[in-house]
Amino acid sequence: MLTEGYRGLLLDGMFVTLKLSLSALAISVVIGLLMAVAKQSKSRLLGSLASCYTTIIRGVPDIALMLLIFFSLQIGLNSVTDSFGFSQINVDPFSAGVVAIGLIYGAYFTETFRGAIIAVAPGQLEAAKSYGFSAWNSFRLILFPQLMRFALPGVANNWLVMVKATALVSMVGLSDITKGAQDAGKGSGHMLPYLCIAALFYLAVTGVSGLVLWWLKNHYSMGVREADI
C-alpha cells in the first residue's frame, strides 16, 4: 500500500516538524524564563504584564491563537510596509508557526519555571549577592542549574505536548508530517498506513526525548543526595 513516490514527502514533513518543534522550544524557553523572572520581580508592572500574558494565552484555544497570530503578523507587516512605501513582506507559514507555538507554549513554560524558582532556597541568592555576584552570574551559576532540576518534569511534559501541537501548523499551509501523511494518503488512496507512519514518528520523537530528558535529569541532579525512604 505504501508508494515509493511519497517517501520524500514524508521525510520532508518529518524534518519540518523537528525543525519547527526545536525552534519553537527555544523561543518558549526564553519567554518562559523572562516571564517567570518578571512574575517574581518586585516590579508590579512587570508582574502584571506577565500575568496578563499567561492568563490570555492559556485561556484561548491554541488553534484560535495560531490563526490570530498568523494573520496579525501579516496585517502588522503590511501596515508597516504601506506606511513607509516598501514592498509587501509575506509571512511564510514556517515563521508564523514558530512564533505562534513559541508564544503559546511560552505561557506554560512561564508557570513551570516560576514554580521551580520558588522551590530554590532564596538564601542562596542572598549569599551570592553578599559575595559580590552580579545579577547575571547569580542567575547563571546559582539559580538556573537548581531551577532546572525542579522544572524538568514540567519541561518534559510541555515539550511533548508542543511536538504534538505542531500538527496545527497545517492550518496555515505548512507541510509538516501530519499534512504530508494526509496528502500521501489522499494521493495513494490508502490513508491508514501513512497516518500510522506519522503516529510512529511522534512516538519515536517521544522515545528519544525521554532519553535526552533522562540525561538532563542526571546532569542537573549531580551532587544532590536523594532522601532515604
Within 13 Å, how many C-alpha atoms sit on residue 121's CB side? Answer: 4
- State the architecture of 18-174 in CATH terms: Orthogonal Bundle (1.10)
Mean pLDDT of the 109-136 span = 84
User: Which pTM was predicted?
Assistant: 0.85
Q: What is the CA radius of gyration of the chain?
A: 21
Asked whether residue 227 carries a pLDDT value surpassing 60, the answer given is no
150 close to 119: Cβ distance less than 8 angstroms: yes
CA distance 123 to 162: 34
CA distance 17 to 116: 29
Q: Confidence band (pLDDT; 50, 70, 90) for 107? A: very high
Q: How far is CA 95 from each of CA 21, 22, 42, 159, 169, rounded to the nearest angstrom?
A: 12, 13, 34, 19, 10
Q: Taking the CB of residue 33, how many other CB atoms lie within 10 A of it?
A: 22
C-alpha cell at 43: 516590579
Q: Pick the residue with more confidence: 54 or 168?
A: 54
The whole-number pLDDT of residue 229 equals: 43
Asked whether residue 2 carries a pLDDT value surpassing 70, the answer given is no
Mean pLDDT of the 139-151 span = 84
C-alpha cell at 62: 491554541
The whole-number pLDDT of residue 63 equals: 84
Residue ranges per domain, the chain?
Answer: 18-174
Asked whether residue 132 carries a pLDDT value surpassing 50, the answer given is yes
Q: Confidence band (pLDDT; 50, 70, 90) for 102? A: very high
CA distance 72 to 129: 43
Q: Pick the residue with more confidence: 226 or 29?
A: 29
Model confidence pLDDT, tens digit, residues 33-65: 999 989 988 888 999 999 999 999 988 888 888
CA distance 92 to 96: 6
Q: Pick the residue with more confidence: 201 or 143?
A: 201
**DSSP for 128-151?**
HHHTT--HHHIIIIIIHHHHHHHH
Q: Taking the CB of residue 152, how many other CB atoms lie within 10 A of it?
A: 19
